[in-house]
Structure 1
Amino acid sequence: MSSTARTTAERYPERVTYDRDDAYAILDEALHVHIGFHTEDGPVVIPTLHTREGDQLLLHGSAHGRFINTTAGGVPVCVTATLIDGLILGRAASHHSAAYRSVMIFGRATPVEDEADRAEALARVVESVIPGRLTGAGAARRPSVEEARYTAVLTLPIEEFSVKVRAGFARDEPKDDAVRAWAGWIPLTTTPGTPVPDTLTGDRLTAPAYDPSVHRFRQDR
């Protein structure tokens, strides 16, 4: 894919790509995305869970929320996902930064109108966030058509996008070579904590042994 006027980087263009596989890898690892759009009261940015299916993003939210009611009308949206891989420390404060991978998508979202299709889409969002949650022994109940009536799902084609990656060390200047401050980068990883049962579950049921290597729970970096 080539760049557009909206996706062309003005700063650090060497960090930007338009590779579809790179964009999909970030979207598939991210637990959530942020959706930006314009309203009568000004710009709004809202986080939500998502899943990717081929060249489409599925975005979910309340059927009566401002996000759904506004974007379902076809207004332009900007969806972003960012993964923070670490903190970059330089010898000068102005050169501190973060190691990250991000993707930005521009487009117009379309609501999933059919309630049965919407219920199935909601199930796929849950299964994408926690693979295995709706299958096998001890599976959670799948969404019903009735529940789909008050939960909305939008589809967004992944057509106009850019990927930006920051890695490596700080861009320290020679004038700071003598500063006796540690410089380098500190990796950050996402790992699951110990499951905490609700009051009804208590100690009656064993916490699910989901695969700890699931990419949404741990970054092997």
Structure 2
Amino acid sequence: MKVTKKTKVIRSPKRGFYDKETIYKILDNHFICQIAFVYEGYPVIIPTIYGRDNNNLYIHGATVSRMLLELEKGVPLSINITQTDGIVLARSAFHHSLNYQSVTIFGEATLVTSENERYKALKIISDQIIPFRWEEVRLPSKKELKATKILKIPIVEASAKIRKEPPSDEKEDYNLSIWAGEIPITSTIQNPISDPKLKEGIPIPESVKKLMKKE
């Protein structure tokens, strides 16, 4: 990625990464992002599901969605995805920190109008959450597709910021009798819970089994 004034990491620049491999890896490990934009003169930030296809992110929602109606106008937006990996406890309160991985993207969204791309985008978003589920379910009807708006956001201006290190204390504080270290934080896939209205005898689908094995 080309480093720009917007994407350049200023605070702790050694933690900044601009290569596609690092950025895409973080994006592909998640499916929820926070989208920020200015609406009627005030800042708004809204969480939404996304899917990545090469150098584009797709988001979707109801055709009457305030966010999508505004973003399709091409207003500037910013997207953030953050994964917290651990609480870093130092010997001093000042140097407590977090280990994390984050990506920030700047750009504009465009409305997807091609029916083929719209259909493809919905599958991409579905696969971002749980691969292979799309092949197991009833696919969207014409009525459902008509009620859905899809936007595409090119990943042009983007950077990652990663902290993965132990506490950093003042030199004299290393002699203090105070515990310091990291408390790791992880997210895990739990055992699936069947819908109470599920017909008897329906097994857990392959997409869910594969997701559980991934853990």
Q: TM-score, with normalisation over the residues of structure 2?
A: 0.91
Aligned partner of 1:34 in structure 2 is 34
Aligned partner of 1:102 in structure 2 is 102
1:193 aligned onto 2:190: yes
1:50 aligned onto 2:47: no
User: Structure 2 vs 1, CA of residues 211 and 4 (structure 1 numbering), >3 Å: closer, same or farther?
Assistant: same
Matches of 2:127 and 2:143 in 1, distance apart?
A: 19
Deviations 1:14-46 (A, max 9, x none): 110211111011111112111110011511111
Gaps of 5+ in 1: none
Please point out which of 140, 144, 148 is paired with 2:145.
148
Please point out which of 151, 154, 157 is paired with 1:157.
154
Deviations 1:27-79 (A, max 9, x none): 11112111110011511111111111111111122221111011011001111
Deviations 1:87-144 (A, max 9, x none): 2111112211111111111111011123453233212211221012122xxx111222
Structure 1 runs (4+) greater than 3 angstroms displaced: 114-117
Q: TM-score, with normalisation over the residues of structure 1?
A: 0.89
Matches of 2:15 and 2:200 in 1, distance apart?
A: 49
Matches of 2:197 and 2:124 in 1, distance apart?
A: 26
- Aligned 8 A contact 1:95 1:171 in 2: yes
> 1:61-210 residue pairs with structure 2 within 5 A?
61-135=61-135, 139-201=136-198, 204-208=201-205, 209-210=209-210
- Aligned 8 A contact 1:119 1:145 in 2: no
Which amino acid in structure 2 is aligned with residue 152 of structure 1?
K
Which amino acid in structure 2 is aligned with residue 145 of structure 1?
K
Aligned partner of 1:9 in structure 2 is 9
Matches of 2:2 and 2:24 in 1, distance apart?
A: 16
Matches of 2:29 and 2:105 in 1, distance apart?
A: 16
Matches of 2:67 and 2:179 in 1, distance apart?
A: 44
User: Structure 2 vs 1, CA of residues 202 and 174 (structure 1 numbering), >3 Å: closer, same or farther?
Assistant: farther
Instruction: Return the offset for 1:164.
Output: 0.6
Matches of 2:139 and 2:124 in 1, distance apart?
A: 10
Matches of 1:189 and 1:202 in 2, distance apart?
A: 34
Which amino acid in structure 2 is aligned with residue 19 of structure 1?
D
- Aligned 8 A contact 1:115 1:145 in 2: no
Aligned to 1:120, the other structure's residue is in SS state helix
- Aligned 8 A contact 1:86 1:100 in 2: yes
- Aligned 8 A contact 1:88 1:97 in 2: yes
Aligned to 1:46, the other structure's residue is in SS state strand
Instruction: Return the offset for 1:180.
Output: 2.5
Which amino acid in structure 2 is aligned with residue 49 of structure 1?
I
Aligned to 2:143, the other structure's residue is in SS state helix
- Aligned 8 A contact 1:56 1:158 in 2: yes
Matches of 1:76 and 1:182 in 2, distance apart?
A: 45
Which amino acid in structure 2 is aligned with residue 25 of structure 1?
K
